A and B are shown apart, each in its own frame.
Chain A
Amino acid sequence: MSIGAILTKEIKTDVRNPYTLAGSLLFLLSSLFVCYITIKRISAPATWTSLFWIILLFTSFNAVAKSFVNETRERMLYLYTIVSPMDFIVSKMLYNAMVMVTLSIVAVTIFSTLFEITIEDPIAFWFGVILGAAGFAIVLSLLSTIASKAGNNLTLVAILGLPILLPMILVTTAITKNAIDGIDWAVQWKYAFVLVGLNVVCFALSVILFPYLWRE
Chain B
Amino acid sequence: MITVDRLTVSYGSFTAVDDVSFVAQPGRVTGFLGPNGAGKSTTMRVMVGLTPPTSGQVTIGGLRYHDIPNPGRHVGSLLDASAQHAGRTGREILTIGAQTMGLPKSRVDEMLALVGLTDAEAKRRLRNYSLGMKQRLGIAHALLGDPSVLILDEPANGLDPAGIRWMRGLLKGYADRGGTVLLSSHLLHEVEQIADEMILIGHGRIVAQGDKKSLLAHGDGAATTLVTSLDNAALGAALTGGGHAVEPLGEGLKVQATPEEVGRAALAAGVVLTDLRSGGAGLEDLFLELTSATAREAVPGVTPTPTGGIPA
A binds B: no
Chain B: residues with CB nearer than 8 A to chain A? none
Chain A: residues with CB nearer than 8 A to chain B? none
